Structure 1
């Protein structure tokens, strides 16, 4: 079985000037299956300075990885505890948007959508795990099990959140551009992911203790600089930088549709 489709050029800028970088071992990941080679080869783009793994999963391999779901990714996980974490995310959006349709891409445990509804937004969820989508629908929420760029939304979106999701997407630019076209003027994008441009990332790497080199489902390692430039390329202006309360070494960025 072919496991990964190789990147022949940078997935962000399409430059062919790419070189091998660090390697990681994903065999200790809780969702690991032996059909996936344990070594993850990371690549550096010499043109735009982006870092990405050497290939993304085929549909067949992805179905193997998605057979199981981490507890923290299941709908309703630690619901009350996560409510307060989600509220801190929503508070970062409120200066820019306080109502309208809120789309959460890769909604996982659903906490952000549950809490967004509490704040007065209309929640919409997208997730590639069928069990999660079924669970959300059973609770009366609008939810889709599909690639977000393939969904036709009924109305323009006021807010789109992608919390630790963009690094899982083979071609992020395609998805961001699609979301941009589905958002209302001045629409707000809330996005989080690990940030390679901080001292903790560097120290973890120097001490051979950086877990993200072996993060099974990740295709990208973003720096703050490269994320901001990508957002600009896709029609968004980054207006706020912050630290994520959910995962270590992660950043949270608010951007507006230009």
Structure 2
């Protein structure tokens, strides 16, 4: 690979065209395979040439494929029978109603029309073995700084549309968002995980153990309903959005904070899965965790979905995926990596954060308003 093609490759990654244009072509799979193989060849040439900058760059690129995915996971959330699962879900995309087709793994499905993606993975939220495989304290330490920073940004966006009222957070986890929101709103949280509810009970937050909407009274209404990294875990998303519409006052806000299928890490994980390197792809779907992802959206198909349910998008944007604060604990919380591997990944991410912040984000938010009447 010559110098010109090297810079063309990284310019493409930087501005998104490396991925975006390839996805629009009919020979997308072959094109993406050729490009990622070119990147791998570039890394190999860097090692053979002995150039320090090439070795560092190629090593960092390879490590980022792994660091964005953090760790390899145990197979606790087993795939269900796909034929049964597809029949139960009418083989239809919940966004555009096109037929879903097989994806990159047995449990993975995709919509060829709107690019929605789905997974036939079963949650095991209150399973003791599931919790035994995760160091919950390390997980909390690893996520706190990034989540609180993102929640602060998101709350400011919410307050620019509505500054007070009743706010419900579905899947409130450790209560970090509720702690921030209670300064401006009357807050209520719902959390299905008994262990997490017990851990946050000492904070005095009004959190109900259970599922949405079953944990609510039939006539309860809110001015804001928030899903922080939750909506992608709920199988029947159409019913959930309908229930949000029912439990919101007219003009109320639906706030969704979720992973993006347009994100650089997710797209790279799909490239690697096509090359039979499936672990990063499984990690981003959280296969093996108590509550795996069952949906992947981008801004366009998510807006299409909520518009069909009488919501109007007010604003959206991206949120950071990684931060140095808490990163080491985040890498370590399943305990699958050795000390050297954790240090290596941490160093690579630290060196690459300025570049990562300019690439397509893996987390985005959408704030939409319920239509009156």
TM-score band by shorter chain is: 0.7 to 0.9
Matches within 5 A, 1:29-108: 41-46=107-112, 49-53=115-119, 55-57=120-122, 61-64=124-127, 67-68=130-131, 70-71=136-137, 83-108=148-173
Cα RMSD (Å)? 3.1
What is the CA deviation profile of residues 121-142 of structure 1, one whole-angstrom value per residue up to 9, with x for unaligned ones? 1111111111222344432221
What is the CA deviation profile of residues 218-247 of structure 1, one whole-angstrom value per residue up to 9, with x for unaligned ones? 111112221111111222111211112356
SS of equivalent to 2:320: coil
Aligned residue in 1 for 2:36: none
Q: Are 1:11 and 1:170, in contact at CA under 8 Å, matched by a contact in 2? A: no
Q: 1:156 to 1:126 in 2, by over 3 A?
A: same
Q: 1:13 to 1:78 in 2, by over 3 A?
A: closer
Q: Does 1:7 align with 2:86?
A: yes
Equivalent residue in structure 2 for 1:164, among 206, 209, 229:
229
Of Structure 1 and Structure 2, which has the larger fraction of its residues in helix?
Answer: 2
Q: How many residues align?
A: 237
Aligned residue in 2 for 1:240: 315
Q: Are 2:285 and 2:294, in contact at CA under 8 Å, matched by a contact in 1? A: no
Q: Which ranges in structure 1 are unaligned for 5 or more consecutive residues? A: 24-39
TM-score normalised by L of structure 1: 0.78
Equivalent residue in structure 1 for 2:299, among 206, 214, 224:
224
Q: Are 1:66 and 1:129, in contact at CA under 8 Å, matched by a contact in 2? A: no
Q: Which ranges in structure 2 are unaligned for 5 or more consecutive residues? A: 1-77, 274-279, 323-360
Please say which structure displays the higher CA radius of gyration.
2
| 1:84 positional shift | 3.9
Aligned residue in 1 for 2:202: 138
Equivalent residue in structure 2 for 1:18, among 100, 108, 122:
100
TM-score normalised by L of structure 2: 0.56
Q: 1:45 to 1:166 in 2, by over 3 A?
A: same
Distance 2:315 2:367 in 1: 5
Choose between structure 1 and 2 for higher RCO, CA contacts under 8 A separated by at least 6 residues: 2
| 1:47 positional shift | 5.5
What is the CA deviation profile of residues 35-54 of structure 1, one whole-angstrom value per residue up to 9, with x for unaligned ones? xxxxx62112346542111x
Judge which range, 216-225 or 88-97, deviates more: 216-225
What is the CA deviation profile of residues 100-134 of structure 1, one whole-angstrom value per residue up to 9, with x for unaligned ones? 1111111122110000012x211111111112223
